[in-house]
Structure 1
Amino acid sequence: MQKEIQIAQLITALQKGDVTAFDQLYFEYAPLLYNRIFKLIKSPEIVEEILQEVFLKVWNMRAQLEVDRGLKTLLCRIADNLAIDHFRKASRDRALQEELWTSSVGFYLHTEESIFDKEKQRILNEAIQLLSPKRKEILTLCNIENKSYKEVASMLGISANTVSNLLVSAMKDIKNYIHSKYEGA
């Protein structure tokens, strides 16, 4: 009963902004709250931070404290909520770290693919440059300009069969060149 009266007097003084009352409140409840938070969070540094936040909240809400309400219960609830907030933040940070990791891996793979595509394009261009002028022209007309064998044959004054044979030969030469480049790599 005596302790309840002391706590009630402490709260009344605290409501008026009495720093000494706040210090007494801190020394009375800090060990209990420290042990309670430490059971949840095993890091002394983080426990200290949360403990400071608990008492900062109490100081900021001192005018709203009620003499007849359980101060210990209030302090424990604040401590528990702050510990839970800490776990939520840690969880979000891990999720953020994982998201950053995933996006950086994706960026790396995209960059690697881009480099590989450029290298393939370079080798393909080299292979095309090595073709005879006639094969290069037929390849360009058929595969790049999407003209039919008949259209190309008419343009070049040769048969559609010759266009087909020259295109097949050009593709074979390109394939052999690319194959030789990748075997050498």
Structure 2
Amino acid sequence: MLSEVELIALIKAGDINAFDEFYKRNWRALYQTAYRSTGSSDDAKDLVQTVFINLWNCRYSLQPDRYNASYLFRSLKNSIINFHKKDSVRKKSMDNLLYVEYGDQYTHEDNLIAKELSVVIEGEIRELPKKMQEVFILSRQQNLSVNEISEALNIAPRTVKNQLSNALKILRTKLGIF
């Protein structure tokens, strides 16, 4: 059985079998770490896949004598951080699109426009396909997480994310005039 350093040297040389062996040795530990962070099997698999794709893509710059297992976990950690940043930004941008606060800083005309926009948004939400509408309402109006929605509707977390993403695209397109 080859050592990790020997596998890295073979991977650097482009040996796909060495890469496969390296993948098999390290996949489970990375997956478990990603799953604990995301709570989603699909997202964890995607993150681990990204780590290995990145490793393969930069194989020529690997230094076998300097390589250690913490490289993979650092790469995974960065992928997880980016994943959470993107998820947070997505949710914030939609919240900003859909929820308008009413306050003293707004004029009477601003409040009327906001109310009109709210009615239009609600109408567009009702126009979404039934399952997409249900997922969207659970996420944005009842503030449920992807995993909570997944469990409540008995669908995969990836399906929930896809439904939310598609709903946002549809709403942005239809609400572009505002």
- TM above 0.5, yes or no, is yes
- Corresponding residue of 1:118: none
Give, in whole Å, the separation in 1 of the partners of 2:31 and 2:92: 28
Matched, 1:63 2:66: no
- Corresponding residue of 1:168: none
Counterpart secondary structure, 1:71:
coil
Matched letter for residue 34 of structure 2: I
CA shift for structure 1 position 69 = 2.0
Among 7, 10, 14, the alignment partner of 1:13 is 10
CA shift for structure 1 position 39 = 1.5
Q: How many residues align?
A: 110
CA shift for structure 1 position 112 = 5.3
Query: Gaps (5+ residues) in structure 1?
Result: 114-185
Taking only the aligned residue pairs, the percentage that are identical comes to 27
- Corresponding residue of 1:78: 75
Query: Gaps (5+ residues) in structure 2?
Result: 117-178
CA shift for structure 1 position 67 = 1.1
Cα contact 2:5–2:67 (8 A) shared by 1: no
Greater relative contact order (Cα < 8 A, sep 6+): 2
CA RMSD of aligned residues (A): 2.5
Give, in whole Å, the separation in 1 of the partners of 2:58 and 2:7: 14
Matched, 1:44 2:47: no
Give, in whole Å, the separation in 2 of the partners of 1:109 and 1:91: 30
Counterpart secondary structure, 2:66:
coil
- Corresponding residue of 1:110: 113
Structure 1 residues 111, 13: CA separation in 2 closer, same or farther (over 3 Å shift)? Answer: closer
CA shift for structure 1 position 99 = 1.1
CA shift for structure 1 position 102 = 2.8
Give, in whole Å, the separation in 2 of the partners of 1:98 and 1:74: 36
Greater share of helix residues, 1 or 2?
Answer: 1
Indicate the structure (1 or 2) with the bigger Cα radius of gyration. 1
Q: Which runs of 4+ in 1 moved over 3 A?
A: 105-109
Structure 1 residues 111, 68: CA separation in 2 closer, same or farther (over 3 Å shift)? Answer: closer
